[in-house]
Amino acid sequence: MPTPTSFHPVVLDDGTTIQVQMTPLGGAVKVSGFKGVYPFESITKSVESISKSLARAIKKASPNKATIQFGIEIAAKEGKLTALLVQGTTSANLTITLEWAKETTSKAPRKRTH
């Protein structure tokens, strides 16, 4: 049986309010009873933290190029948004693709122009 979802107002960092479909954690009654506007900051902080952790791992592995894609499902619990890292992209509210490429440094001296 699929988890019920509902739409709730979410305010972005610039003050814009959008409607976000989210999954209730801890029961649909608790989420539907919340009448405020959820701040999106907890989701952006989660994406930033996940991205930084992945970047450290990629840097350590040192491939020539790496691409990671992950999905975030937005959920609500006790009046706060939370990011759920989900398998695949079918249930994700956000699909994030991170790409790294090794920098190439040229050892040839640069020509000076006057």
pLDDT in tens, 69-108: 999 989 888 778 889 888 765 678 888 899 988 877 666 5
Q: Measured at the alpha carbon of residue 94, what is the angle toward residues 93 and 100, in degrees to the nearest 5?
A: 160
| 91 is a domain residue | yes
| 81 is a domain residue | yes
| 109 is a domain residue | no
| 107 is a domain residue | no
CA gap 74, 5 in Å, rounded: 10
Structural domain total, the chain: 1
| 26 is a domain residue | yes
| 108 is a domain residue | no
15: pLDDT strictly greater than 60 = yes
Residue type, 95: T
DSSP state of 78: T
The full 3-state SS of 28-68, as one line of letters, equals HHHHHCCCCCEECHHHHHHHHHHHHHHHHHHHHHCCCEEEE
Round the average pLDDT of the chain to a whole number and report it. 81
User: In the prediction, which pLDDT does 18 show?
Assistant: 92
Domain that holds residue 53: 6-101
